[in-house]
Amino acid sequence: MKKEDIIKIVCEIKNNLILPWIRGIYSIDRYSIILELYSKGLKTFLILSIKKNDPRFHLLFVPKVPKELSINTAFQNLLTGHIKGGQIRDITMNYPYLALKINNTTLYTLVTDFNNLNIALLNEKDKIISSINSKMDNEIYYLSIFDKSIYSGQAIQNKCSDFTLNKSLSLEFISKKTEEYKRIIIKSMKSELKKNQKLIEKLNKEESEVDKKEFYKKCGELLKYNLQNVERGMSHIKLKDFLGNEVEIQLNPEQSPVENMESFFKKYKKLTNKEEVLRKRICEIENRTDNLKNLISKLEKLEIQLFPKKIEEIVSEITKRLELTDKKLENLIFSALIKKQSKPTKSKIKNKEPFLRLYSTTGKLMLVGRSASDNELLIKKFARGNDLWFHAEEVEGSHVVLKYNRRDEGFTEKDIEDASLIAAYYSKLRKYGEGNIVYTRCKYLNKPKESKPGFVIYHNNKIVFIKIDEARVRNILENSSLRRS
Name which of 145-154, 192-201, 326-335 the model is least confident about: 145-154
Of residues 70 and 464, the one with the higher pLDDT is 464
Mean pLDDT, residues 420-448? 93
Could you tell me which residue, 485 or 419, shows the higher pLDDT? Answer: 419
pLDDT value at 293 more than 80: yes
Q: How far apart are CA 429 and CA 177, in angstroms?
A: 37
Q: CA angle at residue 223 from 218 to 229, to 5 degrees?
A: 145
Residue 56: pLDDT band (50, 70, 90) is very high
- pLDDT of 345 higher than 60: no
Res 276 pLDDT > 90: no
- Over 50: is that where the pLDDT of 187 sits? yes
Q: Please state the separation of Cα 304 from the chain's center in Å.
A: 20
If you average pLDDT over every residue of the chain, what do you get?
86
pLDDT band (50, 70, 90) for residue 482: low
Taking the complete model, does pTM exceed 0.75, yes or no? no
- How many other CB atoms sit within 10 Å of the CB of residue 364? 20
Radius of gyration of the chain (CA): 33
Give the pLDDT of residue 351. 42
What are the tens digits of pLDDT across the range 74-115?
888 889 889 999 999 999 888 888 999 999 888 999 999 998
Residues 6+ apart with CB under 8 A from 256: 232
Question: Other CB atoms closer than 10 Å to residue 148's CB: what's the count?
Answer: 8
- Going along the chain from its start, the domains and CATH numbers come out as 3-162 (2.30.310.10), 176-318 (1.10.287), 353-484 (no CATH)
Query: Can you give the pLDDT at residue 46?
Result: 96
Q: Are the beta carbons of 232 and 257 closer than 8 angstroms?
A: yes
Round to whole Å and give the CA distance between 380 and 447: 9
- State the average pLDDT over residues 433-456: 90
Contact status, residue 442 vs residue 387, Cβ threshold 8 Å: yes
pLDDT at residue 485, as a whole number: 52
**Highest-confidence segment of 21-25, 127-131, 162-166, 334-338:** 21-25
pLDDT at 343: 46
Q: Give the end-to-end CA distance of the chain in Å, rounded to a whole number.
A: 37
CB atoms within 10 A of CB 71: 19
- Assess whether pLDDT exceeds 80 at residue 406: no
* pLDDT tens string 247-263: 999 999 999 999 999 99
Q: Report the C-alpha gap between 170 and 113 in whole angstroms.
A: 21
Coil, strand or helix at 253: coil
**Long-range contacts formed by 325-333: CB under 8 A, 24+ apart:** 326/288, 326/291, 327/450, 328/449, 328/450, 329/189, 329/192, 329/292, 329/295, 330/450, 331/449, 331/450, 331/451, 331/453, 332/188, 332/189, 332/192, 333/185, 333/188, 333/189
**Average pLDDT of the residues in 474-485:** 73
pLDDT computed for residue 370 by the predictor: 78
Q: What is the mean pLDDT of residues 229-245?
A: 90
In this structure, which long-range contacts are made by residues 340-344, counting pairs with CB atoms below 8 Å and at least 24 apart in sequence?
Answer: 340/184, 341/68, 341/69, 341/71, 341/311, 342/377, 342/381
Quick one: which H or E segment has residue 129? Answer: strand 128-131
Residue 416 has pLDDT above 60, yes or no: yes
pLDDT at residue number 342: 56
The arithmetic mean of pLDDT across residues 303-326, rounded, is: 88
CB 400 within 8 A of CB 389: yes
Identify whether the C-beta of residue 375 lies closer than 8 Å to the C-beta of residue 454: yes
Residue 147 above 50 pLDDT?
no
pLDDT computed for residue 242 by the predictor: 84
Residue 401: partners with Cβ closer than 8 Å, 6 or more residues away: 366, 367, 378, 379, 382, 383, 387, 388, 389, 390, 442
Q: What is the pLDDT at residue 341? A: 63
Confidence of residue 354 (pLDDT cuts 50, 70, 90): low
- Which helix (H) or strand (E) is 222 found in, with range? helix 213-224
Per-residue model confidence (pLDDT) at position 125:
85
Distance, CA of 33 to CA of 35 (rounded, Å): 7
Q: In the prediction, which pLDDT does 350 show?
A: 42
Q: Is 398 a residue whose pLDDT tops 70?
A: yes
Asked if residue 352 has pLDDT above 50, the reply is no
- Give the Cα separation of 50 and 56 in Å (integer): 7
